[in-house]
Structure 1
């Protein structure tokens, strides 16, 4: 592989503790108790959006809006304390030192790039797609196709790396490989991916 395209949340950075705590606290603010483990499992297996949809099913529209808004406030604060997973810096460094390139593809805003800079990781990345670029969400391949065109990436020599099925599917939809980072073995083994790892160091 020559080009490695990374998801941010749950792949480069362990943001789930803050996301789950923010989710639980947002509901608690309005007197609703949700199971922390169930929230984490749903987020990991699907998405934050799907998790909200499932947990807000029997709640009034007005209250749904308030809970979502509270979550955004809490999660924005929590994300500032997120840390990279073990070996992220070493793996990204090895890729660049061997002539390869790293790219970021995230549904998060440019705060993700600020975190990379804070942790001395930005220098290892050649390009970025964030929520401000307004591409359709993964597994739609448009954002990956943009990166391929913008940076002359050969899909046959590139891989999309993420912690959810939608990341792998996005890679496949763009004609490239898809690696699944599944640190706690929560993803169904029937998922078709080109490599499944529990540690970032196993990517290479």
Structure 2
């Protein structure tokens, strides 16, 4: 099975650290409220909270300083990565930030290719990056934690799986423990 993975909130539990930093910048908005909005997308959260350019810059600086220890992989995701034929990532995260965490946890070798914001593809839900990866690796399944992550996969006819999200998808997972029991073609 060839799997296209989202990064934040799918492979690594990053949103609590992001929400904490956004809450600090917004001084008075709870981490829970920030988390809820970030789970839609960072752009959505920024617009929702009407963040100023100075706040956005401060938030981005704080995000860049998060240690990998605060962004652990989800339980049992490594078991899935080990069993897949090919794994690829498509993320809006920058190359350096993505590799910092992947390298820290020893996950880099599980991926044939890691497409980041630095590659110049349009942001999701534009399907260009997914199409590139699908043409190169014949992707069977796209896994993400947000609807935004699976829209391009659906447009290209891939199977879709949402992690900890009940929006419409072919498969849904609360945990990676039972991945191969749930994701059956």
Please, what TM-score do these two structures have when normalized by structure 1? 0.82
Post-superposition offset of 1:79: 4.9
Unaligned 5+ residue runs, structure 2?
Answer: 181-185
SS of 1:104 mapped into structure 2: strand
Structure 1's unaligned 5+ residue stretches are: none
* Aligned pair partner of 2:152 in 154, 158, 170: 170
Offset of 1:115 from its aligned partner? 1.6
Please give the TM-score of this superposition, normalised by the length of structure 2.
0.90
Name the Cα RMSD after superposition. 1.5
Structure-2 change in CA distance of 1:199 and 1:112 (3 Å): same
**Helix, strand or coil at the partner of 1:86:** coil
Which residues of 2 match residues 1-204 of structure 1 at below 5 A? 2-28=1-27, 33-44=28-39, 46-56=40-50, 64-81=52-69, 82-95=71-84, 100-110=85-95, 111-149=97-135, 151=136, 153-155=137-139, 158-182=140-164, 187=165, 189=166, 191-204=167-180
Q: C-alpha separation between the residues in 1 aligned to 2:67 and 2:21?
A: 10
- Provide the C-alpha distance between the structure 2 equivalents of 1:70 and 1:83, rounded to a whole number of angstroms: 23
Is the CA contact 1:167–1:178 (under 8 Å) kept in the aligned structure 2?
Answer: no
Bigger radius of gyration among the two:
1
Q: What CA deviation, in whole Å up to 9, does each residue of 1:15-74 have, x standing for no partner?
A: 01110011011122xxxx112212111221x10110110111xx7xxxx01100110111
- Shift in Å, 1:133: 0.7
Matched residue SS, 2:64 = helix
